[in-house]
Structure 1
Amino acid sequence: MKLVVVSAGLSVPSSTRLLGDRLAAAVGRQTPADVQVVELRDLAVEIAHHFTNGFPGRNLSAALDAVTGADGLVVVTPVFSASYSGLFKSFFDVLDKDALAGTPVLIAATGGTARHSLVLEHALRPLFAYLRAVVVPTGVYAASEDWGAEGLDGRIERAAEELAALMTGLGARAAAKRAEPGLVPFEQQLAALRPAG
């Protein structure tokens, strides 16, 4: 299984990247996964150039290939102006609109205050619903006061378990998607998630 973490953190070190790493490690405890991290900070110039010239640079192209070839995604953004960052949105804007159809995605965000925790529901979940990804029920928001506090670890583990279950259940669908482009009917996706018997 291939798990890709997309981190839109800007600072070094970044709490956004830290949350992405913790989520990836938790998924790895549930199912074996090769983890690749895409740091959007390093791709900012190529993303901007893609908007102006229509062509991805070498690094952006590799990142887009990693994301579209993933069996599951962990996407993490810092909160700016009560929503995802512009860099985060710009990356998903240059991605083909059908590229994430049926791909399991765990949404997460970091912010300075718990008051922005609804960013997961009012910004990230609708974005990935539009892209027709399969978003896990549990999103993870980490405010400054959550680090080291009770509760964050439990949310991370629950979300990781949900993503791992989807990655495993939809693994055959993802392999078919890579082998032969096209859409998988919704009924087939549901059947793949149902327990046998």
Structure 2
Amino acid sequence: MTKKLVVGISGNLTRPSKTKAFINHIAGEVAGRIGATPAVFDIEDLGSSFPPARRLCDLDPAARTIVEQMVNADVLVAGSPTFKGSYTGLFKHLFDLLDPSSLRGKPVVLAATGGGERHSLIVEHQLRPLFGFFEALTIPSAIYASDKDFADGVLVSEAIYARAHQAVAEVVNVVGATRSVGLAA
């Protein structure tokens, strides 16, 4: 039996990244609940072949491996920092390379980070339509965290932990838990 895989993808280019840490937290919680292996990447992990790529075959083998893991994952956790009211351009570029049917029916947890509350609808007005195009199964509870929810790059907001817990429970209902493990807040 092949072990399940939860892949997280962050649209951030900078390191350290609050967004990647946020995605890593969510993907780790999902993986723990469904008995899966987590793998979390950011745009930087795709390397230098990614920005000029026009097709998947233009990517180097390492970048293609990351994309294959995303497409073959049992659960995808996708998030981006908010940039000019939307996800980052290279985050969108990644999904522009995918076949429209490649994420059909895939459970996807949506998350985003931003400087303030005014960008909180990025998940509903930007991310959800993107994954709707791919006919992915987006989990109802999306999670947005602003700068005030972090201290020194670490998520500290109990409200955001609770929202993440809710999204994790929803995706577990879709894919099924293999063991009963409580989420730490």
**TM value normalised by structure 1:** 0.80
Deviations 1:42-61 (A, max 9, x none): 32532223228962221221
Whole-Å Cα distance in 1 between the matches of residues 20 and 34 of structure 2? 21
- Corresponding residue for residue 116 of structure 1: 119
Conservation of the 8 A alpha-carbon contact between 2:85 and 2:122: yes
- Corresponding residue for residue 174 of structure 1: none
Deviations 1:42-97 (A, max 9, x none): 32532223228962221221011101110110001000000000011000111111
1:151 to 134, 138, 159: 159
- Corresponding residue for residue 61 of structure 1: 64
Conservation of the 8 A alpha-carbon contact between 1:138 and 1:158: yes
1:126 to 125, 129, 152: 129
Q: Once structures 1 and 2 are overlaid, which stretch shifts more, 41-50 or 55-64?
A: 41-50
Whole-Å Cα distance in 2 between the matches of residues 26 and 41 of structure 1? 23
Any runs of at least 4 consecutive aligned residues in structure 1 with deviations exceeding 4 A, and if so which?
none
Whole-Å Cα distance in 1 between the matches of residues 29 and 55 of structure 2? 38
Whole-Å Cα distance in 1 between the matches of residues 33 and 148 of structure 2? 27
1:20 to 7, 15, 23: 23
- How many residues end up aligned between the 2 structures? 169
Cα 1:154–1:52 shift into 2, 3 Å = closer
What stretches of structure 2 of length at least 5 have no aligned partner?
151-155, 178-185
Conservation of the 8 A alpha-carbon contact between 2:20 and 2:41: no
Whole-Å Cα distance in 2 between the matches of residues 64 and 159 of structure 1? 23
Deviations 1:106-142 (A, max 9, x none): 0100101111000000000000000000000000000
Q: Residues 38-77 of structure 1 correspond to what in structure 2 (within 5 A)?
A: 38-43=41-46, 45-51=48-54, 55-77=58-80
Could you say which structure has the larger radius of gyration?
Answer: 1
- Corresponding residue for residue 170 of structure 2: 162
Whole-Å Cα distance in 1 between the matches of residues 144 and 158 of structure 2? 13
Cα 1:65–1:54 shift into 2, 3 Å = closer
Counterpart amino acid of 2:145?
Answer: A
Deviations 1:5-37 (A, max 9, x none): 111222211100110111012213422111111
Conservation of the 8 A alpha-carbon contact between 2:45 and 2:63: no
State the percentage of identical aligned residues: 34
Counterpart amino acid of 2:71?
Answer: T
Q: Which structure's residues are more often helix, by fraction?
A: 1
Whole-Å Cα distance in 2 between the matches of residues 131 and 53 of structure 1? 16
SS of 1:34's partner is strand
Counterpart amino acid of 1:43?
Answer: L
Whole-Å Cα distance in 1 between the matches of residues 119 and 47 of structure 2? 24
Q: Once structures 1 and 2 are overlaid, which stretch shifts more, 35-44 or 88-97?
A: 35-44
